[in-house]
Structure formats: C-alpha cells, structure tokens
Structure 1
C-alpha cells in the first residue's frame, strides 16, 4: 500500500504455481515495487492483463487469511472517492494490523442462535417505528431517529439489532466513546452472547484483531464499536446504526477523515442494509437525509415528548430575582436556578451543574479591552490556577507581570470559570452536601441517588440513578460565542443531552439554562424541538452556502504549498474559492505529515453545490496526483466536509 495519489490504482503481478492455492483474493501479500518490498492486498485473480509491459512476480503471501471481500473493497473505494483520498488510506482504517499468533488460534465456533426477540412495546411511542421494524428482516429501511428525553437508547438499539439477528442478518452499532459502548454492551451481551463483539481502540491490537477475525469468519454478526467499527466485515449486513453523530469523538483524525455517518450511508446504499442515525438532538447532516427524502423520521408525538421532558427555564446571568442572597451571587447562579438546585437537594436528589471548561479559571482576558490573554513565550492561552497564579495552558510558563499586547493593560478577568472553581464555590453555597466533579482525566460514570452536587464538563456528565432532580447550565455564552459554524448546533446537542438526564417535569425535574430565552438554540430546548431547529439551520445554511447544503473542502498548509495546490486544481464551473486566511495561532501541522512545519498555516475553502460534490472530490484527487508526480513534499491537509470551518 503506497498511499500516494498518483499510484492509487491496482497493479498486476504474476503468481507462480507454488503460491497458486494460497494466493486467494483478500489475502495480505508482499510485492516488489520500484525496487523495494511493500505490503499490499490481493484484490482479485484474473487470467489476462491489459498491461503491455513486463509483469513482476508476487513475492510471497504474508497470510492465507482472507481479510477483504468484494463488498468491503467496494465500500472502501467509494469512501476514498467521496473524501478525495486513496484506497490504501481507507483500508488502514478498515482492516486492523495483522497479529500472526491470533490467526493461528483455533477458529471460534459458529455463532449461536439469537435469543428470542425482546418486547418491542417501547417503540410504540414512535408512530412510524412499527412499520420500520417490520421491514428490518428483509428490507433496507432508512430512518433518522429522534429519541425522547430519558429514553433508554441502548435498549432500543439492542432491540433493533435483535430483530435483525433473528432474521439471520448482521448488525453494526457505532457510538462515540467507551462510556456509551459500555452501556450498550451491558444490554446486548445477554441478548446475543458470543454472537456479539465490541471493537474499540482501547482493547489493544491483539484482542481487537481476534474479535475482528471472529466477525470476518462469521462467528459473530453483531458488532458494537467506535469510529472504525463502521467498516466491520459483517456477513449479510442487515442493519447499520450511528448513535449521536454530532459528537466530536466520531470525527476521524486520520486521512482521508471519513465520518462514520457518511460511511454508513455509502454502505447502506451498496449493501442494501437498513440504516438508523439516532440521537437526542439532530445534526443538519442527518436532517438533510430526511429533507432529501432518502431517509424517514422516527419521531414521538408531542404529548409523549412533553410528558418525558423536564421543566425548562431560561434566563440571563443578570437576572437576580433573589439578588439579596450572597451565596447565589458568589456561585454565579441566578436566583431561580439556585432555588431549583435547593429544591432538588431538599428532595434528596442530585443536582448537575454543567460548566464549559475544566480546571480553575481556564480562560483569561484583558480586563480593559477584553482581548484574550496570551503567553509571551508561545502565544498560548493564559489560565488562573489555584492560589491565583497565572500560567500558560500550553507551555506551563508562569506569568508574573501580565501586559496586554493590544492595549497595555495589566489586569485580567475571567472569560469562563472552570469546574474546579465552580465546585469550590458551590461547596460554600451548599455546606454539608457531597460534591462530585467529573471532567478531563477524572470522569465519573455514575452517581448514586440522594442529595449531591455534581459539577461536570460537556460530555463528562455522570448518569444519576433515577435521574437528576435539577440541572443548571452555566456560562452558556462560551458555547454559543464560538467562531464555529456548528456552535449553536453543538450547544443544543449538549443541552438536550443534559436535559435528558433530568427527571420529567411530572416528577419535579427542572433544567435551567443561564442564557437569553429569546435565542433560537435556547428556544429549541424550551420547546424540546431539535427537528425544527435542525430544519431552520439547514435552511439558513442553504441560503448562506454552508455545509451540508453545499459540499465544501478545506486545504491547509503553508502559503506557497496551498497556492501551488490550488493552481493545479481544475474546479467544476460551479466551484468557488474562499480565502486564503490564516488559521489561529497554535494550529498543528497537517495530520499525516512527518515533516517539520515552520511558519503560519493558511486555509483555502472550496465550495460547490451538493450535486457537484463528486466533481469536487475528483478535482482534489487530480491536484493531489499532480502534486505527488511533481515530488512536492510540503505538508498539506485536504479535507472534504471538514468538521469545523470557522
């Protein structure tokens, strides 16, 4: 596998009689290319070649284990074309590294019969679900599922997989992280037994390859996993599920950066399998599938949605209806939010406080001009540590005499207050109540029922037995004011995830958002209407020419490298170039480059209508081919539909 765009094609080799029996399609091989031995895969056996020159001989078969089949090769080829990458790069994501000792182990027994299909009554809350489930055994229905607040989504997904497995077909369920995977595995293990395997990076290479081989050999046909599990070689694939597709953990950091949701769409189309994209909120990309008529909605009726949702309150941080309470002021909590927390604690229920940053005071600005406070040595952001010491969050250098580079001011102010400082303040406000913090390297999975204050960062909120009595979202402006196209979408996703952990309003649950109630993202949570919010976002992006209404690609690198790449690119007539613009200080070298990177990083965005997305990918690939053929070696990153575009 060469990984070079201008060599991204199949090459023919001769096979001698001694290797004829073991050299079957899909096995790993070694071949000599341009005078050196390289690893590769045997994709097919043919009797004739259209190559007019002299053919080389296959050096050896590394392993007789066929790890590729035509279906998986077709999916990988389509993903490479979609993301302007190479087949070899996608195969590195799809096929784990070989472990010879594992291949020699006795193959596992054939998959046992699946247990009886569990009760599907809970799906009746979603009117379209029964007809969707009826089509699962033999059809390929496609849906975007909007789970209600408090929904036991691991059990619901396990039920869909059970229906599929009972019909003799396989299923893949992809979730963002290990915490979600653990929840899903606990539900699926009793249903499927040894038919079910989990695939995640944390397993280690040996265990991961052993489980992957079990799937490839047909001993397991229900796969649970994170990002790369979407490529699992399940036989007779009947169902693909991607849960919470807006989570950053699903953004692939390796070229060509395919998103599991898009891989699932491609695979569902090619292999005629059912597809479910689910979540507590909805991304514009998922909603675009529904808007285009390619997928259908799985929604609960409004009566059910209201019954399962906490009471939602929204107010600004300046709303001090109990301003005389010094404890409420010290904890930065408006009066109504403070009262909701007190009521929950009095009812012997846990309370969740969500803050956007971990640490003490992780972000500082000049008190005079509000410019971000940065380190004089490396330009990293300054933070306030315990003991009121200022230091750099990147290099750790202490800053003993701050001076603003913009206005010369010497005083700093907090932009956000971290989980550590918030927990300290709440400890004074709720004397005698246990405090739990969750975030960074110390993430709590669960908290027991009973009076307790929980301070957590986004994505690190522990699950409370029976649900939280109240949840308060602090410093919400830090999420909404990000210079990112997805800032509002991410905020709604996070707020709804927190809201779903709170007891319903009929059980006294309250969700307090410290933000202006007139803002569209806040209104979406108050109405608990993620579909309406996603629809409005999609319409606005269509008017402004932003993804997913258009296909957009980013080209990052040094100025000369980016300019040369763009000059070599032949865009479709509808193509539009935006930039170049410098990326923020601290952006690392483009991924996948082993070269040292000096100087500023610039970005050019390329935009075409959605219908011309394939032409854009082809143009990017052609420019990569030209770049490789000219031996241009400057580091560069080309990404189709980048997760962030500023």
Structure 2
C-alpha cells in the first residue's frame, strides 16, 4: 500500500482527471511511475484485472495523518463490480476496513507490491466524483478528514433497497405559471427569468411575513427543473420540510422530488437517496444532511433561515450548510438562494462582498403585510400603567390578547420550556443550587419539590448557602407555568402548548391560546390574530455574541405568523436595536449595523476563527506544532465550564483557545491546524483536541 492522495512530504500536488480538484500525491521519485507487476501468478493466487488494475481507495479511517487515498490491486474476479464510487472492503494494517473506490488507473506510484481489494460491498457507485471532490474541499476548509465528511454525505447501505428496480424518471414540468409569489419582490421576476434561462443568479432573500415563502421556494425549484437542471433545498427541521414538500407536490406534481429527513426511517431514506443518485428525482428538500445529496446537473441551491442553530452540524468536521451549499453553487455553476424573514451577518457579508445580491420587497409592500408591533414600556403605556415596564404580562398585552381572541387564536412565545426552570432564595435572591453538583434547581410542576436540572437529585431539604432560608422563588417561568397562568387569566379559552416534548404541527382558526417555545410555533390556518412575545430579557441577556441577532430572528419568525396588521406585543426595552428593528420590520439595517460592529471588534464573520478545545497540555502541544499564518492571533486559552451533571473536579481540566485571522488567511489557518492534528495523530497523542472552524458559539 502507498499513499495516492493528500499532501505528501517532499512532493507537490496535481489534479486527478475527472475528479475535480481532489489532489493526489506526485510520484515520490522522478521518472516514469512503475506499472503494476505482471509476474506469472502462482496456482490459486489472485490475478489482477487486465485493464486499469490499480484502485485508489479512500479508507474509512478518520485519522488526520492517514487522510489520503491508498493504492490497491483489483482482482480479475471483481473487475466488473469494482467501479468508481462503489463501496469496498480492504485490508489496512492487518484489519478489514470499509472504503470507497475513488478511481481506477493503470499505474501506481508505489514501488513495492500492492495488496488486493478483498471484496466489493456493493457495486452501486454511491460516491460520485462531484461529491468526492466536494467532500475533499469541505474537509480541507474545516480542518477535518475526508472520511468524516463522507460519513455525513453518504447514508448507510441497505442491500434490499439497492436490489429494487428504480422507477422511470418523470419528464420535467412544462407549464409556466408565471412569477407567482415572486411578483411581490421588485427583483423577483428577473431572478426567475435567470433561472429559467439556465443562468446562475445568487441572492440573499428577505422574505415577506406570512406563509407564502414555501410557494416561492417551490416556484424557484420549478423554474430550475424546467431549465433541465436539478434543485436542492435545505431547511432547519422536519416541520419546515413537510411544508415545502407539500408546496413542491402542488407545484411539480408527484414523483419529481423527494424529501430527505430522518422521519421515514433509514431504509426509506436510503431509497429516496438512491432515487436522487440514479436521476429518478431531480429535486431534493431536506434537513442539513441533504446538503450533500447527489443531485445531477445541479442548477439551484436553497437554504432557508440560515441563522437557525439547528443547521449547525454536531459531528466532525462541523460543516455549516450555508458554506457547503455556497461551495456547491460555485462548483456546479448553480444559482443560490439564501432566505429567511431576517438576515444573518454572514448573509449580509455575502451581499457586501458582491457574491450575492439582495432580493428584498419594497417598503410599501412590507407595511401592507407586516403586523403592528408594540413593546412594553412605551411612554403612553407607562402613563396608564406604571407597572408596565416590570410586569411579565401587563395590561397592554392582556387587553391585546383579549380583543384578539374574538377573531382567532393568539400565539404566546416563551423562551424557556418546562414549568419553573430557574429558582432562587426567597429572601436574598441567591440562585438555588444543588448541594451535590452545584447545578441549577427547578420545579417540574406546582405540586412537586425542587430537583437538580443537571444530576436529577431531589432537593426537598434545600437551604440557601448564604442566609439558610428554606423557601424559593421563581426566577424564570417556563412554558408550562405560563400556560397555567393564562388558563386562569382567560377562563373558558383552550390553552395549548407546543415545545420540544410535543410540537404541534398546526392549528385551525378557532379561539385558543397557543403557548410555544421559539422554533416550535405551529402555523395557524389564516394566521394568528395576535402574538405576545414574553420574557425578552431572557433572549437578549444570553452571554453570546449572537444574542441580539438570535432574539430578533426568533421574534420575527413568530411575528411572521400573525395576520397583516395584527397586534404583536414584545416584552422588551424599546430602546434596544433588535426591538426597534422588529417594530420597523427592518432586519437588513440591523444586520448591516451588527456586521459593522463585529468588524470593529474583530469578530466573525468579519474575521475567520478556529476554536480549540481540550486539556491545557493538548492545546499547547497543538499550537506548538501548528505553523499559523502571519498575523494570526491566539485568544486564551480560558477554562471551559464543566458539563451538566459532572461532579466538581471530575474528569480532566479542559480549556478553550480561539485563533483569529483575516478572512484571506482562512484556508491557511485550516491547513495549519490540520497538519498539526496530523502530527499529533501520527505520534498517537493520548489527548484529543476538538477543532472547529467558524464555530457557532464563541462564549
């Protein structure tokens, strides 16, 4: 075996024909590479294939220093099955491991004998050259390994599903129904015309409030398919996927697209994924795992609500769909549409750099369809109700809900789930902590005793560590307690809750109070009659760089479900920029201001950052091996808080360091950290360091 890909010490890199920019090592020695040995085989010995006998295999081993393809011989008996992109089993250091056959060539760089491919697990070419090249680029961008990215890109195999006969692909839709919802945007019809003409427009789309965003996405996908190209839509969760799936079915008809989510189960998901691979379905809608879907002749990528933290991939190398889809659009010459009711600073930077253009409605149209937003503590309200600034549901919100309930349902957004997730001493207000692990105490119901949210211990005999008082008071009220209070305040009105434990798919137009946590708000039939956005201080007070941006995103996503002109009451200080942006329904100005402030402070996305998390010794070791680009700035390391439920002093001490560079040095930073990880991996360092490029959370 020898390396046939990756960065070879002492050698340059060149391109593999037909495999995009996936690099492979230059010959170790000058001169003509040696051909595979053609000695007369012994009796019973393996015989190599007559043509293209060398297979370059990416083994499924996520060690950084082994992140390159290896050469194997293809036995003659597997000649027909061993095709580029298929799954294989090979021997690596004496063990059978899985891998993917990237390509077959006539010669190898290796001067010694090559081992044979043991068997072809499946002749289905599941790793296409385009996806292999994309996986290589994503791994390099995020300082990860090819094996880790391919695990995210290719789902597990189901042999029974592979044996099924694929259905005939339907013809592309022919009828053109016009711009539809895009007529509400000045640049909408021209965007669709560019799609229909096979061009590649790129836009950051600020959608109008209301439910028509699903129809707009479906119309854009239809235009791409009518131009003879494929489309890929990525959304945050399965409920959004179901809505866009229904819109696509209504727009395209049956059989022209598939939905890739975890709900149908692994077998059905693999069946749908194969339909995309084989060209039966030309359009895909799904959650973040669908960003690698092998759509043929990709002509459009769509990402909705890119600021949702659900988009963040929790597995190494932690790629974000926004970056992956941007890479795919660039590689395939495809159109890109990044949309949402708000705009992230990352999307604002794409517009600022000219990579994408803004696709926004005019102000007159926004004023006609936006809800009427008011905040608690307005001067006129304070004149009538002196407690409005401090009350959780003051008179203005109460009266707005009572009037709106005559016309339909009212949405109440509460930032915290549970009953009372935060407690404090009833006398001195010291936060109530568990005596065993120092975790926060909470109440699960009105008749229960406090318990620890980290270790689950019952704290029936709790006493304050400061004043020995034994009674507690609520610091934060959750969705269940809010529903209980509203049920008493509005007798006879049904109160429904929607949260992580049970999320409502939707409600009708009947009279009801819907208490939901952010992201779990169910759409109403004709929209909500009003919305109350409670406890704004919880969202704005988070110790996070993105706290204000995230608060505005959650508020606008909830307010967008309200009927045009319907009242929205937000419990927050009206002088704060995110509250003012909500009142004016102007997320663009807020995002531009936020990006300017981050540029002045040196925070993403104005800079590129890497997060290193591990023991102090491991971080020092990694930074010592890394040849960081000139101008790189190391911040920290600082201690990392213990995981919830961990006992004090349990486990090794962990720290976190941040490395900050100019955006033009982002690729150099990733290469340096990946090389340093490879050095530590080669010498079998016992302590691992978690490396994240452009982490979602910095604090």
Which of 86, 99, 102 is equivalent to 2:161? 102
Q: In the alignment, which residue of structure 1 is the partner of 2:678?
A: 625
Larger Rg: 2
Bigger mean CA deviation after superposition, 287-296 or 128-137: 128-137
Q: In the alignment, which residue of structure 2 is the partner of 1:180?
A: 240
Give deviations 1:587-610, integer Å, cap 9, x for gaps: 699xxxxxxx81333111111111
Q: In the alignment, which residue of structure 1 is the partner of 2:572?
A: 515
Q: In the alignment, which residue of structure 1 is the partner of 2:324?
A: 263
Q: In the alignment, which residue of structure 2 is the partner of 1:568?
A: 625
Matched, 1:457 2:488: no
Matched, 1:291 2:352: yes
Matched, 1:147 2:207: yes
Q: In the alignment, which residue of structure 1 is the partner of 2:263?
A: 202
Once residues 301 and 409 of structure 1 are traced to their aligned partners in structure 2, the CA distance between those partners, rounded to angstroms, is 58
Tell whether the 8 Å contact from 2:378 to 2:574 is kept in structure 1 after alignment. no
Tell whether the 8 Å contact from 2:411 to 2:532 is kept in structure 1 after alignment. yes
Tell whether the 8 Å contact from 1:13 to 1:58 is kept in structure 2 after alignment. yes
Q: How far does residue 324 in structure 1 lie from its aligned partner after superposition?
A: 9.6
Tell whether the 8 Å contact from 1:31 to 1:58 is kept in structure 2 after alignment. yes
SS in 1 for 2:480: helix
Once residues 378 and 635 of structure 1 are traced to their aligned partners in structure 2, the CA distance between those partners, rounded to angstroms, is 26
Q: How far does residue 329 in structure 1 lie from its aligned partner after superposition?
A: 11
Tell whether the 8 Å contact from 1:446 to 1:463 is kept in structure 2 after alignment. yes
C-alpha spacing 1:388/1:15, structure 2 compared with 1 (3 Å)? closer
Q: In the alignment, which residue of structure 1 is the partner of 2:337?
A: 276
Give deviations 1:284-329, integer Å, cap 9, x for gaps: 111111111000010000001111101110124996666599xx99
Matched, 1:235 2:296: yes
Once residues 567 and 329 of structure 1 are traced to their aligned partners in structure 2, the CA distance between those partners, rounded to angstroms, is 53
Once residues 464 and 499 of structure 1 are traced to their aligned partners in structure 2, the CA distance between those partners, rounded to angstroms, is 12
Q: In the alignment, which residue of structure 2 is the partner of 1:447?
A: 507
Which of 113, 118, 128 is equivalent to 2:177? 118
Q: In the alignment, which residue of structure 2 is the partner of 1:162?
A: 222
Q: In the alignment, which residue of structure 2 is the partner of 1:474?
A: 534
Once residues 140 and 587 of structure 1 are traced to their aligned partners in structure 2, the CA distance between those partners, rounded to angstroms, is 47
Tell whether the 8 Å contact from 2:211 to 2:561 is kept in structure 1 after alignment. no
Q: In the alignment, which residue of structure 2 is the partner of 1:593?
A: none
C-alpha spacing 1:329/1:553, structure 2 compared with 1 (3 Å)? closer
Tell whether the 8 Å contact from 1:83 to 1:617 is kept in structure 2 after alignment. yes
**Unaligned 5+ residue runs, structure 1?**
590-596
Q: How far does residue 89 in structure 1 lie from its aligned partner after superposition?
A: 0.5
Which of 645, 649, 656 is equivalent to 1:603? 656
The equivalences for 1:37-52 within 5 A come to: 37-52=96-111
Once residues 614 and 49 of structure 1 are traced to their aligned partners in structure 2, the CA distance between those partners, rounded to angstroms, is 30
Q: How far does residue 163 in structure 1 lie from its aligned partner after superposition?
A: 0.5
Once residues 366 and 565 of structure 1 are traced to their aligned partners in structure 2, the CA distance between those partners, rounded to angstroms, is 44
The equivalences for 1:396-545 within 5 A come to: 396-405=456-465, 410-505=470-565, 509-545=566-602
Tell whether the 8 Å contact from 1:145 to 1:299 is kept in structure 2 after alignment. yes
SS in 1 for 2:675: helix
Query: Could you say what the CA RMSD is over the residues aligned between the two structures, in angstroms?
Result: 2.2
Tell whether the 8 Å contact from 1:371 to 1:406 is kept in structure 2 after alignment. yes
Give deviations 1:4-33, integer Å, cap 9, x for gaps: 100001111111222222211111111111
Q: How far does residue 562 in structure 1 lie from its aligned partner after superposition?
A: 2.1
Which of 303, 314, 323 is equivalent to 1:253? 314
Q: How far does residue 149 in structure 1 lie from its aligned partner after superposition?
A: 1.1
Tell whether the 8 Å contact from 1:320 to 1:335 is kept in structure 2 after alignment. no
Tell whether the 8 Å contact from 2:180 to 2:216 is kept in structure 1 after alignment. no
Once residues 264 and 296 of structure 1 are traced to their aligned partners in structure 2, the CA distance between those partners, rounded to angstroms, is 16
Q: In the alignment, which residue of structure 2 is the partner of 1:6?
A: 65
Once residues 532 and 118 of structure 2 are traced to their aligned partners in structure 1, the CA distance between those partners, rounded to angstroms, is 64
Give deviations 1:475-498, integer Å, cap 9, x for gaps: 110000000111111100000011
C-alpha spacing 1:587/1:645, structure 2 compared with 1 (3 Å)? farther
Which of 664, 668, 686 is equivalent to 1:615? 668
Give deviations 1:259-278, integer Å, cap 9, x for gaps: 11110001111111111000
SS in 1 for 2:496: strand
Tell whether the 8 Å contact from 1:6 to 1:626 is kept in structure 2 after alignment. yes
Which of 319, 332, 335 is equivalent to 2:392? 332
Q: In the alignment, which residue of structure 2 is the partner of 1:315?
A: 376
Q: How far does residue 126 in structure 1 lie from its aligned partner after superposition?
A: 1.1
Q: How far does residue 94 in structure 1 lie from its aligned partner after superposition?
A: 0.4
Q: How far does residue 52 in structure 1 lie from its aligned partner after superposition?
A: 2.8
Tell whether the 8 Å contact from 2:611 to 2:693 is kept in structure 1 after alignment. yes
Once residues 421 and 119 of structure 1 are traced to their aligned partners in structure 2, the CA distance between those partners, rounded to angstroms, is 48
Q: How far does residue 573 in structure 1 lie from its aligned partner after superposition?
A: 1.2
Tell whether the 8 Å contact from 2:260 to 2:269 is kept in structure 1 after alignment. yes
Once residues 162 and 182 of structure 2 are traced to their aligned partners in structure 1, the CA distance between those partners, rounded to angstroms, is 41
Q: In the alignment, which residue of structure 1 is the partner of 2:148?
A: 89
Q: In the alignment, which residue of structure 1 is the partner of 2:34?
A: none
Matched, 1:360 2:419: yes
C-alpha spacing 1:624/1:192, structure 2 compared with 1 (3 Å)? farther
Give deviations 1:237-287, integer Å, cap 9, x for gaps: 000001111112111011001011110001111111111000011111111
SS in 1 for 2:542: coil
Once residues 86 and 588 of structure 1 are traced to their aligned partners in structure 2, the CA distance between those partners, rounded to angstroms, is 32
Tell whether the 8 Å contact from 2:232 to 2:301 is kept in structure 1 after alignment. yes
Q: In the alignment, which residue of structure 2 is the partner of 1:350?
A: 409
Q: How far does residue 198 in structure 1 lie from its aligned partner after superposition?
A: 0.7
**Unaligned 5+ residue runs, structure 2?**
1-59
SS in 2 for 1:352: strand
